[in-house]
Structure 1
Amino acid sequence: MKEPTFFLVDKKVLPKVYSKVVEAKQYIMNSEAASTSEAARMAGISRSVFYKYKDSVYPYQPEATNRILTIQAVLYDRPGVLMSLVSEFYGAGANILTINQNIPVSGKAMVSISARINNMMGTVDELLALLKNVDGVCSIDNITDQ
């Protein structure tokens, strides 16, 4: 499968339909529309146009291109360990994007967490030190270049 190619294009030169698709997606995300049909109608496009472009058109968000940290951790299978780890991200001002946890094997579970860290207080090394000190964490590895 070929990797997609992306372009950053000023919306003034694009057909209006692309802006309308983004508008419809905003109605859904902000709970202003109860369904995709309603969102498409509110934006002034057909449902088929919405479905044709919905997975290909996104607004440019400069903050989304900023720093993302992904860690991989091994945690003991005990209540509250993952929550304590997530709380450290929150306390540092990082915005968690994804959490993936495997089923525990031999009392330990592998977890990966990705977080946007552009508004984080402190450095990545300081956050990693806090994460390593969470009770129930066996290991933490930074798997990004941050």
Structure 2
Amino acid sequence: MKKRTDQFYLVREDMLSEAMLKTIKAKMLLENGKFNKINEVVKEVDLSRSAFYKYKDGIFPFHTMVKEKIITLSIHLEDRSGALSKLLSLIAQTGANVLTINQTIPLQGRATITLSIETAAMTADVTVLLGKIEELDAVVKVELIGSGA
């Protein structure tokens, strides 16, 4: 018998099997209240009950894994006037609350910003926030380096 591990991997959606993707869809339909019974939801997504039960406790959308209230980001930012201000404005627009900011002295035109952010009041998923941050002109790199309650 295989030993169960609690090790997690981040896998791109197109790498998942069809049964795994249907399991995620079925779980979302159950969570949203569109269906109350597993028999109904597996029929809706064209998935066997055995496949649903096989994957239901082991596959989760990324946003549910980082749904804790506090996340820590590391952001490499170009040393430009107003860059930090734009970053903080963007975070505020999502409903997140900045708890701490640490910034290195800019070297070779870049600074590293470490932000602790409370996400409880956010209007979107953390993945949406990360995407918006990456789109800012002065942002070179964004990493989620921690999450917790």
Could you tell me the TM-score, scaled by structure 2's length? 0.52
Q: Which runs of 5+ in 2 are unaligned?
A: 1-67
Alignment of 1:64-83 (within 5 A): 67-83=69-85
* 1:36-70 residue CA offsets vs partner (Å, 9 max, x unmatched): xxxxxxxxxxxxxxxxxxxxxxxxxxxxxx61011
Task: Pick one of 85, 88, 103 that aligns with 2:87.
Answer: 85
Task: Pick one of 137, 142, 145 that aligns with 2:144.
Answer: 142
Runs of at least 4 residues off by over 4 Å: none
Q: Secondary structure at the match of 1:118?
A: coil
**Following TM superposition, by how much is the alpha carbon of 1:145 offset from its aligned partner in structure 2, in angstroms?**
3.8
**C-alpha distance in structure 2 between counterparts of 1:88 and 1:133, whole Å:** 11
**C-alpha distance in structure 1 between counterparts of 2:147 and 2:69, whole Å:** 9
Instruction: Quote the sequence identity (%).
Output: 36
Counterpart amino acid of residue 74 in structure 1? H
Q: Secondary structure at the match of 2:141?
A: strand
- The question of whether the paired residues in 1 share the 8 Å contact of 2:70 and 2:147 is answered with no
Could you tell me the TM-score, scaled by structure 1's length? 0.53
**C-alpha distance in structure 1 between counterparts of 2:108 and 2:147, whole Å:** 30
**C-alpha distance in structure 1 between counterparts of 2:103 and 2:110, whole Å:** 11
Q: Which runs of 5+ in 1 are unaligned?
A: 1-65
